[in-house]
Chain A
Amino acid sequence: MEPDALKIMTRIVKGVFYGLTALLIVVVLYILWTLNYDVIFRYFGRILGGTWLTIQLVTLSVFIGFFIALPVAIMRVSHIPWLRHPAYGFIFFFRGTPLLVQLFFIYYGLAQVDLVRHTFLWPVFRDAYWCALIAFALNTGGYSAEILRGAIQAVPKGEIEAARAIGMSLVTAYRRIILPRAFRLAIPAYGNEIIFMLKGTALASTITLYELTGIARLVNARTYQPVEAYLSAGVLYMVLTYIFLQAWQLFERRANRYLAAQG
């Protein structure tokens, strides 16, 4: 291509880029200008309450999910078939079905089963909060197990062999060498999974919970102001994600600081 033609092309691309950016800014400012802030202020307390429930759901389900994922991942890489296969089945089930279906199955489905309804299980499964937590923890458990499996298998063979060569048992090698290495390798992918889970909690609104999305739907139903309702929720999800990302980055840097020292 002629140098001149290239220059003109660059100019056009730049022009289009700046033009679109300016248009986007104008649209955003226009939306912000036309928002009915009364609605947002009137429901602000409830929006914050919903945010708090969202934080609870994601924190607890990720916490419980981690302790599900850990044994499942170790079973998954085992050479013993009766350990490996159930773990594979568990991961396949929770990755292979939509979270909404899992949630409905646990909330509406299990409530039809007499064994659940007429035993000590009912006080737990009666409550939408526990149903949501169980579904979310199992789901993130399945995904996290797969992340951990990948990380465990990515630990350099030489390090494991070295550990075994100096006389460590497999358990000790896992505890002192394999898992600490695997956790560090898993951090980026695991952070991604937690962000997915944060947004997954929005589904709890379908089983009567008033978390952030549930509140947004309430505000919409009450005021017929969908832009205000869902924009507020969207901004709060972004704020939560941003705070989490900052914390996770600090955590990752600290966990991998030995790599920085190696330079």
Chain B
Amino acid sequence: MKKFAILMTAALLVSGQAMAAEKIRMGTEGAYPPFNQIDPSGKLIGFDVEIGNALCKQMKVECEWVTQDWDGIIPGLLAKKYDTIIASMSMTDERKQAVDFTDRYYSNSLRYIAKKGSNLDVKDLKGKTVGAQRATIAAIYLEDNMKGVVDIKVYDTQENAYIDLAAGRLDAVLGDMLVNYEWLQSDAGKAFDFFGEAFNRSDEIGIAVRKGEDKLRQQMNAALKAIRDDGTYAKINAKYFPFDIY
């Protein structure tokens, strides 16, 4: 009986402490630049991390970051190693069966890239040759909407599509805007640029919480809305991308 009482007291103390500290443990991967990565000094940096820290600040809680390999990231959440996942996770139907998601905190969309000075008019692509990676949203978009208008080429990898764009076999590549942006920043992509606006926002990225943790989820949603409204989000966004990725 005495032992039991000690245990109870200890448990109360521990849980009481956790509540008093108001700490949220954030899980991320740390290997997906520029969204989350570990810098040479071992510090966790990136867009996801800054958004997470801004949310904690907004919610007036302390953020504690935990890194976890991608394939174990949902199991780690369910095992309560951390309370949320902010790791550029697409909100797919499959994942929604295992975890709950907040509102999106950024999204991926499609955007054309072509040679600088090519005057590509994305409204009138008739007769152009456009490449995309096989089995991606971009390839499916072209098949559904541009078949017969443009000559569609599909590639096994995104890199091969870029190689053929650089070689001059393609007039344009359609792909995820953020992936395209990464390539445009590289040496090979220097002579190329975006054309037209981003469209088809189909890939939404959210923060995962354990199923049923509605209080935490709603807190996060409110904080997200607040940092969108007060310009904190825009400031972080501008550090990584010259366009709004929300």
Contacts and interface: CB of A to CB of B under 8 A. Distances in A.
B140 A117 contact: no
Given A208-B153, A221-B139, A111 B134 contact: no
Contacts of B197: none
A222 B134 CA distance: 10
Interface stretch (B43-51, B159-167, B237-245): B159-167
Interface residues of A, number: 14
B134 A221 contact: yes
Contact of A221 (B140, B160, B164): B140
Contacts of B192: none
A181 interface: no
A199 interface: no
B135 interface: yes
Given A221-B134, A221-B139, A221-B140, A112 B156 contact: no
B195 to A, nearest CB: 21
Given A108-B163, A221-B135, A221-B140, A208 B168 contact: no
B170 to A, nearest CB: 9
A117 B163 CA distance: 13
A12 B21 CA distance: 74
B169 A206 contact: no
A126 B140 contact: no
Q: For chain A, what secondary structure do more than half of its interface residues adopt (helix, strand, loop), or is it mixed?
A: helix
A111 B140 contact: no
A221 B156 CA distance: 12
A217 interface: yes
B176 to A, nearest CB: 16
Contacts of A222: 140, 143
Given A221-B135, A222-B143, A117 B167 contact: yes
B38 interface: no
B135 A117 contact: no
Contact of A108 (B134, B140, B153, B160): B160
Contacts, number: 35
Interface string A95-131: 0000000000000100110000100001000101000
Q: For chain B, what secondary structure do more than half of its interface residues adopt (helix, strand, loop), or is it mixed?
A: mixed
B contact residues, range? 10 to 19
B153 A111 contact: no
A111 B164 contact: yes
A111 B161 CA distance: 13
Interface string B129-171: 0010011000110010000000001111000100110011100
Nearest to A104: B160
Contacts of A220: 135
A208 B167 contact: no
A222 B143 CA distance: 9
A112 B167 contact: yes
Nearest to A217: B134
A126 B143 contact: no
Interface in B84-101: none
A117 B167 CA distance: 8
A47 to B, nearest CB: 15
Nearest to A214: B154
Interface string A180-208: 00000000000000000000000000101
A126 B168 contact: yes
A206 B139 CA distance: 15
Interface string A122-152: 1000101000000000000000000000000
B169 A126 contact: yes
Contacts of A206: 156
Nearest to A209: B153
Given A108-B163, A221-B134, A117 B156 contact: no
A211 to B, nearest CB: 13
B152 to A, nearest CB: 9
Contacts of A111: 163-164, 167-169
Given A111-B164, A117-B167, A208 B154 contact: yes
A85 B164 CA distance: 36
A6 B230 CA distance: 89
Nearest to A116: B167
A119 to B, nearest CB: 13
Contacts of B134: 217-218, 221
Interface of A: 108, 111-112, 117, 122, 126, 128, 206, 208, 217-218, 220-222
Interface of B: 131, 134-135, 139-140, 143, 153-156, 160, 163-164, 167-169
15 contacts: A108-B163, A108-B164, A111-B163, A111-B164, A111-B167, A112-B167, A126-B168, A206-B156, A208-B153, A208-B154, A208-B164, A217-B135, A218-B154, A220-B135, A222-B140
